A and B are shown apart, each in its own frame.
Chain A
């Protein structure tokens, strides 16, 4: 019997418990939605080692750590109130989820312009007036082909849906934090997010997966299985930053799926700052001419950490552009993989698709793997890909040290220099500084412990 079958079976019981327990009070549509998703998960099981899309990630440890999903009110540690929120952005709209549950006392809905609607928590599960969610959720991600996304849908409990109406510019970044706090046992969570950016709207969205500020969970495994869907209507301009820093012992599967209409633009940064296994999957469908997406990724790993970046960009029509720049900084015995698939449909002439993966190895035992997959069915296209693996420039290190800079600082300066191409893609100086700070704390070995206020 394969691992997949065993785990799928084990999940049946957990699912039934959830449906009768924490997930019981839900409208009929949501129960049906979950059952349908569970059916699809069952049909696929957990992908095995031979699965084409999972070559670089052994799913066995993931499967072993598919912990029970038990959302409940968490005791909020006193120190959390003093926690400096992600990227040092104290102000602006902020949604905080503790152990997969919306936490109103730490959240702040202020700063959203008129017309922007935000549905989360119990409202997402209960009220009839939000029945439209049934049609909206799952319109981008294909759960029949993505077992973890199916699992996420089966356990749909909390998260949020953000609608930005046409023409509205949301000035302040909207940020969400998903934190785990000690509840006495390890947990799994299945956050679900949907952002609908109306025609010509503009919004910056930050998705931050962290760990509690006292680091008490370090040592206990947790499993996050998140799905985020983006719908960009014509001319929408969306900037998204996804930060994963749950810690060395954690398992994270993140699915970001976007679809883009005419002339829309998506600028995405993903920052992976450590985890036992971190699967970072990004799917973008460029559905109408003029759509552009720019994906940036940075992963900074040590120990035996593993990150598997997996992107799929579909150029469905002519005159779309995609760029991808993923950079890895790999120390210890870590492993960083990047698979970038670009599919250019037969009619998608004048496509521009670029992809690059550059890796900096800080140790002899770190491993990096790059797999570009270009499937080009059109003939008038501009596609390029490149990959490099390098080490710290010894001459640059010596030069810095000859100016009095210690070897550790010199190394960190060079790593920051390597990473700066990614952080600068955040555009706004405050965001850039925030990202730099997170990288610095990772390099200082404090990845699990967010800075105290």
Chain B
């Protein structure tokens, strides 16, 4: 394991449990600025648990290890502080919140982040201009902004809405948890376009996916396989093709041997 001080994110020997059951069992991961990491792995292997550990969901109970984000102890930060420091999670299952408009959530979030950075708050008009421009990138109807957060959205609309939020909040580290699941190829291309529009030297991505397909559009620097609570294998984008062809069984056998 490298202890590269240039890393944006260093996950070191993290053990975590969910519902009392150990899920992550000594996970290491280094993400440098500008990199795109893909994490693949069988269902139930702990990919979402990793995302929850990183964003501070209380159901993911960290039992050992440490995570440094921008050089600071991540576990010292509350979920909103992580967000204000530039962390963003596109949820695998976005939460429906009736009664709160998308634009309200986004404006509150963006202004909290701006405030944290010492920038002035955006008024409603300036904010709407930004939000509408981002919606255009994703070919989303502006009316989506005034609808209640994810409420009554189709699966595809929810995923696209997560990407919209990411574009507006412009994170430093974006974690996408199966944002491609359930999308048809056109929707998938639009989501990839949104991600690629954000790619920059100082911005990193962790793309959790089940399917190699997404990685044709969002080309990763590194591909990891998560199995039995650890990174079982890492490689370049060809690893994703190999996994697609062979499945995960060979890895698990290897790990158990």
Contact = CB atoms under 8 A, between A and B. Distances in A.
Nearest to A407: B80
Contacts of B55: 402
B89 A414 contact: no
A150 to B, nearest CB: 41
Report the interface size class on chain B.
Answer: 20 to 34
Given A395-B95, A413-B105, A413-B108, A404 B100 contact: no
Contacts of A418: 99
A290 to B, nearest CB: 32
Contacts of A414: 97, 99-100
Interface in A400-442: 400-407, 409-410, 413-414, 416-418, 420-421
A402 to B, nearest CB: 5
Interface stretch (B109-117, B131-139, B187-195): B109-117
A405 B80 contact: yes
Nearest to B115: A404
A400 B105 contact: yes
Contacts of A395: 95
B212 interface: no
Contacts of B106: 403
Contacts of A401: 78-80, 83
Interface in B204-241: none
B110 A404 contact: yes
B97 A417 contact: yes
A398 interface: yes
Nearest to B108: A405
A404 B109 contact: yes
B153 interface: no
B79 A417 contact: no
User: Majority SS of interface residues in chain A?
Assistant: helix
A396 interface: yes
A420 B55 CA distance: 29
Given A399-B91, A400-B105, A413-B105, A405 B112 contact: yes
A402 B79 contact: yes
Contact of A421 (B57, B80, B99, B116): B99
B179 interface: no
Interface in B42-66: 55-58
Contacts of B98: 417
A403 B100 contact: no
Given A395-B95, A398-B79, A399-B91, A405 B109 contact: yes
B99 A403 contact: no
Nearest to B84: A404
Interface in A369-420: 393, 395-396, 398-407, 409-410, 413-414, 416-418, 420
A62 B223 CA distance: 71
Contacts of B112: 404-406, 409
Contact of A417 (B91, B94, B99, B109): B99
B92 interface: no
B181 interface: no
Contacts of A413: 100, 104-105, 108
A121 B105 CA distance: 48
B103 interface: no
24 contacts: A396-B95, A396-B97, A398-B58, A398-B79, A399-B97, A400-B100, A400-B108, A401-B78, A401-B79, A402-B56, A402-B80, A403-B108, A403-B169, A404-B80, A404-B110, A405-B80, A405-B105, A405-B109, A409-B108, A410-B80, A413-B105, A417-B98, A417-B99, A418-B99
